[in-house]
A and B are shown apart, each in its own frame.
Chain A
Amino acid sequence: MSGRRIFARPARFAAIAPYVWMVLFFLVPFGFVLKIGLSQTAIAQPPYTPVFDLTEGFAAIKAAVAALSLDNFRLLVSDNLYVLSYLRSLVVALVSTAILLAIGYPIAYGMARLPKRWQGVAMMLVIVPFWTSFLIRIYAWINILQHDGLLNQILLALHIVAVPVVWLSTDSAMYLGIVYSYLPFMILPLYATLTKMEPMWEEAAADLGAAPLEVFWLVTFPLSLPGVGAGVLLCFIPIVGEFVIPDLLAGSNSLMIGQTLWLEFFTNKDWPVASAVAIVLLALLLAPLLLYDRLQRRQMEAR
């Protein structure tokens, strides 16, 4: 009896804790952002109107609500600066994710087939870069890629090029940075899937007459799709909103949506438009997020 009571309360709390977390740290802030997104920019403190002031009574609040508008969202659709930013973000994320998958899959596959005692070492090597700050690693790439950087010095010394090549502030540099930074996020879920895949399926396929390449495409790869899905979404979603890497490594002629948002917020001081940009970005990412969630749930059920 009493035992049941002791355990009932924490259990109930544990069940609602995620919802409390969601409301406090996602829904409420999202409400603020949404409200700012519906406001107008102003040279004031805070830099937007209307401002809700609960002390001024019901009529004032009613007027404030009436002052909210969808103007900022209309702007996002009509000014193709924003549309292009969104498009560029999606394209960059798609291309990067494809490169990541093409590089990450063979690495994860190789790791999963190492002798057990070497797998831990390989895993460490994948994770070790995390011990250094992400920002420092990107700055290191700037050093390597700049005009008189390590890469150009090597290329010149080996007489592969006659004059230094422009690497920095190009799309290539940005893709390099993104792929370098996100590779562990692609490798780890793939490795987890491949390493727990039993060899019996591959053996059965070979036994039934499948040549090694057929074994891979007909059995190994389809069975690793949950890992592929996890890796792809784990990379794609944050890359769409990526800000630091394109800002530091790419040129300034075309912007990703993260950069546009930063500009609106800090340079233009247009909080309402920045908020609208953020909300549309979130809406765009909701589809892959839900897909990721479904994939994970299906994997849980399969177990």
Chain B
Amino acid sequence: MAEEDTKIEAAAEPAKAQPVVALPVLVPPPQVADLPLLRIEGVGKSFGGFRAVDRLSLDVRAGEFFALLGPSGCGKTTLLRMLAGFETPDEGRILLSGHDIAQYLPHERPVNMMFQNYALFPHLTVHDNIAFGLKRAGMARADVATRVAEMMALVKLEGLEKRKPDQLSGGQKQRVALARSLARRPQVLLLDEPLAALDKKLRESTQTELMELQRRLGMTFIIVTHDQEEAMTVASRIGVMDAGRLEQVATPRELYEAPASRWIAEFIGDVNVFDGQVEAREHHRLTILTRDAGVLVAAAPRNPLTKTAVSVAIRPEKVKLSRRGPIADAAYAQSLNRLEGVVSDVSYLGGLTTYKVRLDSGAVVRSSMANTTRIDMDAYGLSQRVVAWFTPDDCMVLEQ
């Protein structure tokens, strides 16, 4: 379903100056100029009886920062390894600039990969690691030196050329790996969990640098990650994978605010979910009778529902708490969803505080509220009776 909006985008990238060396470069045949840079068509791969990637299709445009997100074992790494050439698809095509590269060997592909553990050659210096791919392409010695110096400057590692990988810190290794994979100016850069080995602070600053670098170079990046925050931060578009299939391909915002399924809603961020039946529909408003939260009014989703059994999902930060409930205007109050209950848990997290409210039905609603003032006289305490409320537009209606 979610794949519609990923197709039909043209590879409108202006022709970049090609390197003077014999790097594997695929020039798009003119008659297929409207193809995206990378088109994955019905690609499947099984290991033994296990279907790692299940007839998956995806388009990635030139200049995109695309993230493949999913739990471990969802097939995202297998897909990436098929793009790099380490695995051969059982079926389907991988079109890069219009050429099917599915059966090409890794060294014949104009794509490069940054490995999860960096895979720096331990017997070579930083300089020789970065120069490795350039020498394989038969680049002249002087050009190699220039390009290596360029890459060292790009990742801010000047002066470390003579070091061996085991004399580098984790962050430095990560930069060398990045420089090495970028040195050949690949048409697509594949990144396999590139920041997983870094600590949180360094990871965040590196994410920003990755984004800047990608924008500056205008290159196409495809990153594989299981960290949804990382995917949301760096990527312009995210493909969420589960069990070898793409569940949804969308921008981070769409993914969060309009997930295609309950599974995605629960996988991306936190969510309150109430199962129920659609009772009535008028003026884009659905009235849904839920088992745990009574009658909820929700905005009808963009795609028409095919079933009446639905789940209503509300993000915790959309759920506000108040002592009595906002009833300033009767007409407005009518359209609000109000759930009464008792605060059963309070977690102060610094920037925000999360509350658990036990409803009279026994169900629990989570609410998180930003701590916008330093001294909050209005904070809610345990066992306080409160109203948790949210608007119909804050409800995401998902088919079960």
Contact = CB atoms under 8 A, between A and B. Distances in A.
A222 B119 CA distance: 15
Contacts of B120: 204
Please classify how large the interface on chain A is, using the bins under 10, 10 to 19, 20 to 34, 35 or more. 20 to 34
A33 interface: no
Contacts of B112: 207-208
Contacts of B113: 203-204, 207
A204 B176 CA distance: 13
B184 A205 contact: no
A203 B107 contact: no
Interface stretch (A76-84, A91-99, A209-217, A283-291): A209-217
Contacts of B132: 205, 208, 210, 218
B137 A209 contact: yes
B86 A203 contact: yes
A222 B123 contact: yes
A98 to B, nearest CB: 23
A208 B117 contact: no
B23 interface: yes
Contact of A208 (B86, B105, B136, B166): B136
B43 interface: no
Contacts of B86: 203, 206-207
B85 interface: yes
Interface string A71-113: 0000000000000000000000000000000000000000000
Q: Which of A204, A206, A223 has the most CB of B within 10 A?
A: A204
Interface residues of B, number: 25
A209 B121 contact: no
B136 A203 contact: no
B84 interface: yes
Contact of B121 (A201, A206, A212, A214): A201
Interface string A26-66: 00000000000000000000000000000000000000000
B84 A207 contact: yes
B122 interface: yes
A206 B85 contact: yes
Interface in B46-98: 84-86
A209 B136 contact: yes
B84 A219 contact: no
B180 interface: yes
A200 interface: yes
Contact of A200 (B105, B107, B117, B137): B117
A206 B105 contact: yes
B106 interface: yes
A158 interface: no
Contacts of A208: 107, 112, 132-133, 136, 180-181, 184
Nearest to A204: B119
B24 interface: yes
Contacts of B85: 206-207
B389 interface: no
Contact of B184 (A209, A212, A219, A302): A209
B51 to A, nearest CB: 21
Contacts of A214: 136
Interface of A: 198, 200-201, 203-212, 214, 218-219, 222-223, 225, 302
Interface of B: 23-24, 84-86, 105-107, 112-113, 115, 117, 119-123, 132-133, 136-137, 166, 180-181, 184
28 contacts: A198-B117, A200-B119, A203-B106, A203-B113, A203-B115, A204-B115, A204-B120, A205-B121, A206-B86, A206-B106, A206-B107, A207-B84, A207-B85, A207-B107, A207-B181, A208-B133, A208-B136, A208-B181, A208-B184, A209-B107, A209-B133, A209-B136, A209-B137, A209-B184, A210-B107, A218-B132, A219-B121, A223-B122
Given A203-B86, A203-B119, 14 more contacts: A198-B119, A200-B119, A203-B84, A203-B106, A206-B86, A206-B106, A207-B84, A207-B86, A208-B136, A208-B181, A208-B184, A218-B132, A219-B121, A222-B123
